[in-house]
Structure 1
């Protein structure tokens, strides 16, 4: 699984070859440093660990500082492991976007979605609501309605779709398309919904 770590910059739009204006997300991906190489002989599986983003040494644990020094690099903010990576890299090597992706590739974006706080059932679970203001209904347009039985089972089952905290969780979006890349600036333009706010960390992989 080839992949790279990046940061969501924002959105823009470009014109395709037919002259159509297409909205896209700008992601600053890499360069990432290889901080560990796992093999079946030492770890029972093949994987490459990549690190991204600078971090002050005083904000890193001594264990992680030693881990990064072994790879010949400074402390990093994000560390992600990619299993069965097809790119052959050694400890301390750098991985850039043009080594991982090409324009037109279909990729997956993994990130932490925006936190929305406490939300009702209409926004959180796409409930329709009562949608009827007649026959004695008052302020029920966004209400959940009945949520359980009476005497049996006499409780609300765990996982019932109700109001609660929404967003702020790990989200994977498949089927995104790489529209354009600027390897010299470590930028990649992606068509589709990329999770997270501006400045949020995004993991891109095939």
Structure 2
């Protein structure tokens, strides 16, 4: 009888132990899940840092694009590129001004700060310094198109993740401007290449006609 009672008591202890173990394990899993759910990057300071870094990146992007727009005005002979570049300058100036105002209001403006130039911008600058005429125009359109596409991607992400209302508003205003130039530069790039192909075909046809006429002239002698 006593043995039966002891066995029953042991079973009860075992069940209780297993139940407590399960509760502890569930508690640990819940704690781990909560820890993972609370992303440290989402802390207030991290969010503020993201906004600050995004603002600085936007200033650099707008500044670089303005530089290349001004360069096109100075060096391109293509009327369509000149028209586009002249329109880009005030639009980019507006974006740049709004971002610089954000930086100043946040107290992050560094006196005499030189805006960063990306590796891609530096390469484009080097390539353009050695190009002229058609080569300059095609290098400019393809390079500036890539910069606009990269800027547009950054702005799209910031539009969703920025927490500063003023930054979000500035980004929202900038997105359609940069998208519009993406489309226009892409169209212009294709147009320039198409015109060049047509001109080369016409020149080849003219040269063939000239050579034919020259041969006929020699035969008639």
Report the TM-score when normalising by structure 2. 0.20
Which structure ranks higher in relative contact order (CA pairs < 8 Å, sequence separation ≥ 6)? 1
Select the structure that is richer in helix. Answer: 2
Report the TM-score when normalising by structure 1. 0.21
Select the structure that is richer in strand. Answer: 1
Q: Find the structure with the greater CA-based Rg.
A: 2
